[in-house]
């Protein structure tokens, strides 16, 4: 696949970058990524992957842009308040990079549709805001053998990890089950610093590029945690795949996506 003159100029800094180069840029142009969540985390992920030249980006979200989102959800604008977030984010991506094909999936992601949503994509990004959907993404991706990148943010802190089925632990290996309702403060209850969401989303985009290009050390079997108040950044080793894990273990008990298992516990990021 030869790049045209405009692409050679647009991606010039990648083309001279050791570890990316023309081969890596072509991988990006041929890649497809589904971003589940077009809010605070999804904003920097979508913008940076589009800028990097990821050839196909899917956006899945059922919400509309609200004025209170704009403190952190930088892909949206005041003029687009009331617009479906997927439509708003797609407009921003197309304005940034016409190379990118954008798939718009307007609506909630749940157990009835997630398998079909993730099927056409190489990589999935968890940019969601509740435990239920995070466990759903994990279970669906593990069952389908799809790699995904997890992130979470609350207050001044966030975390990122990569899940590659067969190459390390999954999200359920680490967290097992959803916490009881009310046990963990939500972003709506505790607040969240907009810039921190941007940092964590940018780290997700970085991990996505690394996995697509095949460079560096991805966060497989490790979790990166960031505390912005102290600027303490830690790379925490995670246990190996847990043989007793309900979805990726030796004798899994989760072999299908039962909607009753994924009760929403909403938190607006």
For the question of residue 267 being annotated catalytic, the response is no
The residue assigned the tokens 């509740």 is: 130
Report the SS3 class of residue 196.
Answer: helix
As annotated, the binding site includes 13, 40, 61, 72, 85, 109, 129-133, 170, 173, 245, 248
As annotated, the binding site for ATP includes 13, 40, 61, 72, 85, 109, 129-133
CA 104 to chain centre: 16
The residue assigned the tokens 């617009």 is: 83
As annotated, the binding site for Zn(2+) includes 170, 173, 245, 248
Catalytic residue among 36, 57, 140, 187: 187
Report the SS3 class of residue 72.
Answer: coil
**Across the strands, what pairs with 151?**
160
- DSSP type of residue 71: G
Q: How many residues does the chain have?
A: 269
Report the SS3 class of residue 250.
Answer: coil
Radius of gyration of the chain (CA): 18
HEC per residue, 15-50: HCCCCCHHHHHHHHHHCEEEEECCCCCHHHHHHHHH
What is the secondary structure of 124-182 as a DSSP string? EEE--SSHHHHHHHHHHHHHHT--EEEEEEEBTEEEEEEE-TTSS--HHHHH-SPPPTT
Q: Are 59 and 105 in contact (CB under 8 A)?
A: yes
Which residues are known catalytic residues? Answer: 187
């Amino acid at each position: 696949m030869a790049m045209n003159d405009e692409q050679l100029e647009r991606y010039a800094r990648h083309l001279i970058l050791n570890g990316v180069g023309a081969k890596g840029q072509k991988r990006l142009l041929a890649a497809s990524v589904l971003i589940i969540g077009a809010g605070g985390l999804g904003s920097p992920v979508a913008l940076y992957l589009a800028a990097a030249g990821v050839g196909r980006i899917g956006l899945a979200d059922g919400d509309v842009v609200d004025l209170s989102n704009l403190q952190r959800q930088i892909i949206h604008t005041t003029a687009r308040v009331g617009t479906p977030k997927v439509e708003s984010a797609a407009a921003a991506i197309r304005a940034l990079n016409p190379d990118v094909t954008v798939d718009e999936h307007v609506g909630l992601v749940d157990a009835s549709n997630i398998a079909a949503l993730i099927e056409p994509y190489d990589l999935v990004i968890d940019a969601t805001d509740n435990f239920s959907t995070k466990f759903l993404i994990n279970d669906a991706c593990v069952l389908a053998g799809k790699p995904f990148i997890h992130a979470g943010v609350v207050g001044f802190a966030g975390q990122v990890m990569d899940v590659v089925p067969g190459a390390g632990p999954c999200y359920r290996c680490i967290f097992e089950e959803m916490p009881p309702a009310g046990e963990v403060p939500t972003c709506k209850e505790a607040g969240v610093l907009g810039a921190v969401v941007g940092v964590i989303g940018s780290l997700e985009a970085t991990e996505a590029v690394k996995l697509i290009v095949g460079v560096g050390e991805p966060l497989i079997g490790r979790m990166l945690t960031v505390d912005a108040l102290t600027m303490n950044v830690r790379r925490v080793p995670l246990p190996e795949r847990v043989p007793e894990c309900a979805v990726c273990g030796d004798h899994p008990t989760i072999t299908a996506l039962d909607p009753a298992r994924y009760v929403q516990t909403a938190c607006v990021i």
